[in-house]
Amino acid sequence: MTTTETDTTHPRTISRLAVVSETYCRAGIHLAREAHLRTIFRDFRFSEFKARAIFDKAMVAPERVGLIYAVPGADEPLAEEGLCDFASVQMGEHFLGNGNLIATVHTLNISPKLTGTLLGGKVALRIVHAVRHWANTLGCAHVTMHVTNGKNAEDADQFFRRCGMVTIGGNYCWSP
């Protein structure tokens, strides 16, 4: 399944949902590796095998796992380092509840080239809207976002609150 939306504020940036392509997989892994180095878990060795498994799940069950990409433009070939942003989201039931579905964003990675820029904020906002659209289309009652970047948690909190999200808890970590 492929969904393409053009951003009217920056016409060269588009988002795509679950594109079946080795090129997108490689670009997603590249960006995930870069983003991993900026998280609190950067001392863990990055697993390309695990990253590829997420891509494979999305290809087998796109109604359960969504991969949402922001790319430079519809007509430009995608280079491995060409992604602007990438999100991985999974849909399922609450671990103790029945009936309602929840979409959980496991990662939202923005290109280091765009981090801290106005364009980066716009691209991240488009990805959040694309995640919300994906979740609504599948009938999810909630969308949850896990933030583990560790460096600018306050900025992430501000951004997600501006997107209309509310805090329902927090990520806490003890490092010996």
For 8-67, how does the pLDDT look when each residue is reduced to its tens digit (9 = 90+)? 344 355 555 545 578 888 888 888 898 888 888 889 999 999 999 988 888 888 888 888
Note whether residue 94 is domain-resident: yes
Backbone dihedral region of 18: left (phi > 0), alpha (psi from -120 to 50 degrees) or beta? left
How does 107-123 read in b/e, with b if 16+ C-beta sit within 10 Å? Answer: bbbbbeebbeeeebbbb
Note whether residue 153 is domain-resident: yes
Note whether residue 176 is domain-resident: no
Contact predicate 125/13, CB 8 Å? no
Q: How far is residue 163's CA from residue 173's CA, in Å, rounded to a whole number?
A: 25
pTM summary value: 0.79
Q: How far is residue 87's CA from residue 70's CA, in Å, rounded to a whole number?
A: 9
Asked if pLDDT for residue 2 goes beyond 50, the answer is no
Note whether residue 73 is domain-resident: yes
Note whether residue 81 is domain-resident: yes
Note whether residue 154 is domain-resident: yes
Would you state the torsion angle of the CA atoms of residues 55, 77, 124, 102, taken in this order, to the nearest 10 degrees?
-30
CATH of the domain at 69: 3.40.630.30
Specify the number of domains making up the chain. Answer: 1
Q: How far is residue 43's CA from residue 66's CA, in Å, rounded to a whole number?
A: 27
Structural domain including 128 reads 4-162
Note whether residue 132 is domain-resident: yes
Note whether residue 173 is domain-resident: no
For 77-103, how does the pLDDT look when each residue is reduced to its tens digit (9 = 90+)? 566 677 788 888 999 998 898 889 999
Contacts of 17 (CB under 8 A, 6+ apart): 1, 2, 3, 66, 67, 68, 69, 130, 134
